[in-house]
């Protein structure tokens, strides 16, 4: 082992049933922690037994939400190695989120080294079944005990690991989407491009209303005009219209998804034109009426590809790809998970074998 | 004592120097806690020694920001009693914030009873100097250990107490304000009307830039058009223009401040016309150029009244009330703090004697 201090968990837990993992419910035996103070900067990177953390009730994260996070997955490959998928993009985005939320940035190399060690220590926790992986959740919270509204002077970074199955209990399966035109997730000038807790808190209400109406997720419109499509649930979103794939451009209020970027590259490599531009919900529904909306899907680390089967906007409900998983949605899902698990060639060099 | 379970702190701390309290740096010997589970609802209201809380690293507040809070103050009155200022409004707003962030609402009477008991237990901590008070911070955090993006099923409510001096080290003193036209605090359809951590996290970056440019606080414009004035720092804002007082209307992205409401009532009782309406920064600066902008101030529980001495928008900088504390700013500050401390009559019945 490297310079990272390691305290072994002497009371390892029983591992959960790999067929009923769900998402983010089980955690491994260890976690990575690192602290920040003004004097020392980021210091004391350690692997310690997974367990509760103790914080003063005035810790600033509880009051003013200075928090950023990331989501990545580790896979056992077909030849018994362990891989991550484009972790450099996640670490870069973590620092971009830090910049927006005024949290001190982290040395990506030191963090990567810590993550590799952590995954190595808990490698027995990586599930091997279809649609399973080890989800990695790096996050940073403001820990300084003070109620003044300003950037904190003390932070804690943690990485926790969770063996997961499909994000949706039904696996890759078309979801029903409700176009949200009252609540807003983010607005340009806000924090939409950062992976930070406040964006998610603001979305829960609309998601609950959608669920009550029988829909799985919400389609978010832009905060300014409430016309343009931004994200779906906590995923980026793609539409295939008349042979062309369209995804909302990164306007400042949309998260720059790693799966989004990968989907664009793969689709283009397969000869499909992909355009990043503003797309209004009116244009989308007109395309559906004209019979040109061929496919729709969300992209994200948790669900990878989430096909959209139906969509409701006001009183109008449309069915997409016959309510089924579209051809390209399935192709993308298989390509990305195949690269992740070492079952397919990796033409872009995305798979990073770490162990 | 009532039904509230009480565990006395057997190791009380030394009290801080009442002349150097600052804001939110010191905490008393006890705190109020209450837990929520799906089965039991809100239960187990307790007063316990102030101290760290232990949370699983996957507690949802660390990831998806389900959090709401309030700010109130307790005062020792001239005749030795203890008062709160309009606590019913804070408890009502706490539940309004809960509603927006999908947190189960709290019984305001039970919470109020707990708050009174807590203040009673720690009454020796209420400072008596000018511009001092005991700041009360109720807050609720999502504690369920799970990484799924949805409303949590477990929460913790806490109330912590902090003896405070002036929010600004310089006391009531004109501040300099920078009109922020890149970053946005909130947008209609978002969470601006709720007192929730994400609104504050999103504002820290702009506040830091303003500080680097030599300004105390930021003036926030609306998220849609970036034209209309919303708040200043974490306060509501008022302008006296040609004899009329104007404050932004509660559009949905502005917090319904208790001090804002009190300032409106007091100003009207003094015969000043007060209008709640949209006010563009262009109109404001034109009024300044025309010599009609007589006074400007922020309102909030922490600072009470914060006069604005200068304001910068793009390349134009204006001075207000000669850069001094305006007549009505001072009058409001003295009236509100006088009512709070029992030095003045309380025509509106705002002072609530609790002990």
Residues B133-163 have pLDDT tens digits of 999 999 999 999 999 999 999 999 999 999 9
With an 8 Å Cβ cutoff, are A160 and B57 in contact? yes
Task: Give, in order, the Cα–Cα distances in Å from A78 to each of A83, A122, A133, A341, B198.
Answer: 10, 19, 13, 6, 42
Chain B: give the shortest CA distance to residue A311, in Å: 20
Q: Which two tokens stand for residue B338?
A: 């006088």
8 Å CB contact between A239 and A281: no
Instruction: Please list every residue in chain B whose beta carbon sits closer than 8 Å to the beta carbon of residue A102.
Output: 204-205, 208
**Chain B contact for A233 (CB, 8 A cutoff):** yes
**Which chain A residues touch B139 with a CB distance below 8 Å?**
62-63
The partner residue sitting opposite A57, judged by closest CB among B65, B158, B190, is B158
Q: What is the DSSP letter of A205?
A: H
Confidence (pLDDT) at A131: 85
pLDDT value, residue A1: 44
What pLDDT was estimated at residue B3? 79
A49 and chain B in contact, CB less than 8 A: no
Residue B343, min C-alpha distance to chain A (Å): 28
Domains of chain A by start residue, with CATH? 5-164 (3.30.470.10), 175-340 (3.20.10.10)
Task: Mark yes or no for CB contact A65/B67 under 8 Å.
Answer: yes
- Chain B, residues 112-171, CB within 8 A of chain A, namely 135, 137, 139, 141, 145-151, 158, 160, 162
Q: Which residues of B touch A147 (CB under 8 A)?
A: 23-25, 135, 137, 162
User: Burial level of B107, CB count in 10 A (0-12/13-18/19+)?
Assistant: middle
Q: Which pLDDT value is given to residue B2?
A: 58
Cα separation, A66 vs B27, whole angstroms: 21
Contacts of B197 in chain A (CB under 8 A): 61-65, 197-198, 201
Q: How far is A241 from chain B (nearest CA, A)?
A: 29
Residue B338 contacts A, CB cutoff 8 Å: no
Alpha-carbon distance B184 to B192, whole Å?
10
- What pLDDT does B247 receive? 98
Q: CA of A181: which chain B residue's CA is closest? A: B189
Of A66, A69, A188, the CB nearest to B63: A69
B105 in A contact zone (CB under 8 Å): no
Please indicate whether, in this complex, the C-beta atoms of A189 and B190 are within 8 angstroms of each other.
no
CB pairs under 8 A between A and B: 214
pLDDT tens-digit series, residues B106-136: 999 999 999 999 999 999 999 988 889 999 9
**B116: phi > 0 → left, psi -120 to 50 → alpha, else beta; which?**
alpha
Interfacial B residues in 283-322 facing A (CB < 8 Å):
none
Instruction: Judge whether A249 and A278 are in contact, CB under 8 Å.
Output: yes
CA–CA dist B128, B96 (Å, integer): 32
Residue A35 CA to residue A78 CA, distance in Å, equals: 36
When CB atoms are compared, the residue of B23, B65, B160 closest to A197 is: B65
Interface touch B148/A58, C-beta < 8 Å: no
- State residue A2's pLDDT score: 58
Would the CB atoms of B201 and A191 count as touching at under 8 Å?
Answer: yes
Pairing of strands A217-221, B53-55: unpaired
Identify the DSSP state of B311.
E
DSSP-assigned beta bridge partners for residue A156? A35, A141
Mean pLDDT by 10 residues, chain A (355 residues): 86 94 96 98 98 98 98 93 97 98 97 98 93 96 97 98 85 90 92 95 95 95 96 96 98 95 98 98 98 98 95 96 94 95 95 95
Contact (Cβ atoms closer than 8 angstroms) between residue A170 and residue B169: no
| pLDDT beneath 70, residues of chain B | 1-2, 169-171
Q: Which residues of B touch A183 (CB under 8 A)?
A: 189-190
HSE-CB for B32 with a 13 A CA cutoff: 26
């Amino acid at each position: 082992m490297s310079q990272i201090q390691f305290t072994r968990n002497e009371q390892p837990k029983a591992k959960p049933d790999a067929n009923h993992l769900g998402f983010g419910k089980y955690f491994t035996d260890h976690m990575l922690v690192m602290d920040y103070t003004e004097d020392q900067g980021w210091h004391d990177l350690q692997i310690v037994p997974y367990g509760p953390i103790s914080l003063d009730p005035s810790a600033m994260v509880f009051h003013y939400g200075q928090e950023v996070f990331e989501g990545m997955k580790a896979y056992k490959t077909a030849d018994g190695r362990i891989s991550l998928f484009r972790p450099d993009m996640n670490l870069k985005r973590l620092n971009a989120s830090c910049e927006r939320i005024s949290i001190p940035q982290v040395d990506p190399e030191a963090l990567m080294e810590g993550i590799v060690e952590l995954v190595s220590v808990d490698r027995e926790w990586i599930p091997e079944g279809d649609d399973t992986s080890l989800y990695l959740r790096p996050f940073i919270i403001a820990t300084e005990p003070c109620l003044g509204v300003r950037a904190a002077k003390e932070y804690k970074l943690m990485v926790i690991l969770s063996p997961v199955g499909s994000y949706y209990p039904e696996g890759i399966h078309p979801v029903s989407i409700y176009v949200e035109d009252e609540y807003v997730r983010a607005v340009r000038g806000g924090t939409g491009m950062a992976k930070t807790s406040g964006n998610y808190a603001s979305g829960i209400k609309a998601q609950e209303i959608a669920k009550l109406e029988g829909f799985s997720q919400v389609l978010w419109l832009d905060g300014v005009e409430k016309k343009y499509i931004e994200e779906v649930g906590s995923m980026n979103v793609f539409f295939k219209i008349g042979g062309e794939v369209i995804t909302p451009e990164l306007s400042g209020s949309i998260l720059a998804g790693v799966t989004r970027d990968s989907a664009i590259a793969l689709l283009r490599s397969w000869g499909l034109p992909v355009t990043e531009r503003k797309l209004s919900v009116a244009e989308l529904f007109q395309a559906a009426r004209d019979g040109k909306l061929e496919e729709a899907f969300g992209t994200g680390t948790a669900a990878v590809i989430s096909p959209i089967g139906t969509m409701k906007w006001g009183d109008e409900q449309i069915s997409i790809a016959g309510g089924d998983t579209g051809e390209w949605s399935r192709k993308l899902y298989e390509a990305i998970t195949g690269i992740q698990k070492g079952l397919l060639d990796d033409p872009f060099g995305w798979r990073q074998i770490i162990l």
